[in-house]
């Protein structure tokens, strides 16, 4: 029973770390690059627009989609690691 509880706590801690770092990447790309750091990225051109504008319009959405797939892939690995796979 105690081993099962520690396994569940370790699984939950790993899940929270994954969620935290996914949110950090999302916030950095959405707010950091698209809004806060936009003046610094204005000199870099991507597809005819500056990089800050690109992150605000497309980069944050593409990053979010990549994060969804990364989260799913990583959670499947965590499920296997902790013996919780379906």
Contacts by 41-45, CB closer than 8 A, 24 or more apart = none
Mean pLDDT on 66-84:
94
CA-closest candidate to residue 81, choices 11, 18, 32, 28? 11
Q: What pLDDT was estimated at residue 34?
A: 83
Q: Is the pLDDT of residue 72 over 90?
A: yes
CA-closest candidate to residue 70, choices 13, 24, 11, 22? 22
What is the model's pTM? 0.80
Q: What pLDDT was estimated at residue 22?
A: 96
Task: Give the pLDDT confidence of 11-56 residue by residue, as tens digits.
Answer: 999 999 999 999 999 999 888 888 888 888 888 888 888 888 888 8
């Amino acid at each position: 029973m105690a081993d099962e509880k520690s396994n569940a706590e370790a699984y939950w801690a790993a899940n929270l770390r994954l969620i935290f770092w996914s949110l950090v990447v999302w916030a950095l790309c959405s707010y950091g690059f698209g809004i806060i750091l936009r003046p610094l990225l204005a000199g870099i051109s991507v597809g005819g627009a500056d990089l800050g504008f690109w992150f605000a319009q497309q980069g944050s959405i593409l990053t979010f989609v990549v994060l969804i797939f990364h989260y799913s892939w990583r959670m499947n690995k965590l499920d296997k690691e902790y013996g919780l796979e379906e």
